[in-house]
């Protein structure tokens, strides 16, 4: 039995703009084990977001191989069709972004429950109350996003990302819009999800404190691991 959950080989993403070719991700080979906590760091434009999106099946690579939990997702640069990718995303991944992306007209509870509009994992999904309790949002369920602090908004986004109990949590600069106290809270929550729930976490961060919570820090430069 192998514990390898994500296996990428020579994964590349090239953007073409007119005569310009930008190699955003350049032949990256990488393995992530179940329960791993990996942090990508590197300068702006080094390919962190692009790589995270490739690993999370949110974007198609230009070339390379990718398999997740033994399932081939990209073979010889060719991704599975969308009809196969979207159920895979729903089953495996939770996503968190720097800008939270809460729906302003929905309450906290409705935002947290949004994934159920598409899919509810039978026997696995948490209830809104459970996940709110876990993230310290119980008293905020009836509020609108504009009535929350930045840290609370990000906790709502995390609640929404984990309500269906994903196996892999991807986070792009989850503390990028937060002050140091709120950042610390979010770091603790992510650490706890990794430690207590065995959730695999892959994140991008400029925050050194958050990066050091990871088991592994991977530095990117010009689309390569250095």
Ligand X SMILES: Nc1ncnc2c1ncn2[C@@H]1O[C@H](COP(=O)(O)OP(=O)(O)OP(=O)(O)O)[C@@H](O)[C@H]1O
Cα 141–chain centre separation: 23
47 interacts with ligand X by CB under 6 A: yes
When the beta carbons of 42 and 115 are compared against Mg ion, the nearer one is 42
CB of 182 to Mg ion, least distance (A): 20
150 interacts with ligand X by CB under 6 A: no
Other CB atoms within a 10 A radius of the CB of residue 151 amount to 20
Looking at the DSSP bridge assignments, the partners of residue 217 are 39
Best CA proximity match to 72, nearest among 59, 83, 62, 57 = 57
CB of 194 to Mg ion, least distance (A): 21
Q: How many residues bind ligand X (CB under 6 A)?
A: 12
The structure tokens listed for 47 are: 């390919």
39 interacts with Mg ion by CB under 5 A: no
200 interacts with Mg ion by CB under 5 A: no
CB of 29 to ligand X, least distance (A): 17
In sign, the C-alpha dihedral spanning 145, 184, 198, 56 is positive
CB of 147 to ligand X, least distance (A): 29
Best CA proximity match to 67, nearest among 116, 126, 4 = 4
Is there a contact between 85 and 35 (Cβ–Cβ < 8 Å)? no
User: What is the contact surface with Mg ion in residues (CB under 5 A)?
Assistant: 49
* Chain contacts with ligand X (rule: CB under 6 A): 15, 17, 22, 24, 42, 44-50
């Amino acid at each position: 039995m192998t514990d390898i959950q994500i296996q990428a080989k020579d994964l590349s993403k090239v953007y073409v703009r007119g005569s310009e070719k930008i190699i955003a991700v350049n032949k990256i080979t990488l393995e992530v084990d179940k329960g791993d906590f990996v942090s990508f760091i590197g300068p702006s434009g080094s390919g962190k977001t692009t790589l995270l999106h490739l690993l999370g099946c949110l974007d198609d690579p230009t070339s390379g191989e990718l398999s997740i939990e033994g399932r081939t997702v990209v073979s010889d640069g060719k991704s599975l069709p969308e009809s196969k990718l979207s159920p895979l995303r729903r089953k495996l991944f939770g996503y968190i972004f720097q800008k939270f992306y809460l729906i302003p007209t929905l309450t906290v509870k409705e935002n947290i429950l949004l994934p159920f509009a598409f899919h509810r994992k039978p026997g696995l999904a948490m209830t809104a109350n459970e996940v709110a309790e876990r993230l310290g949002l119980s008293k905020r369920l009836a509020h609108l996003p504009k009535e929350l602090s930045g840290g609370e908004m990000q906790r709502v986004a995390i609640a929404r990302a984990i309500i269906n109990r994903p196996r892999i949590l991807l986070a792009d600069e989850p503390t990028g819009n937060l002050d140091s106290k709120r950042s610390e809270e979010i770091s603790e929550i992510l650490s706890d999800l990794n430690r207590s729930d065995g959730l695999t976490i892959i994140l991008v961060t400029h925050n050194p404190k958050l990066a050091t919570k990871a088991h592994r820090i991977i530095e990117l430069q010009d689309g390569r691991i250095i």
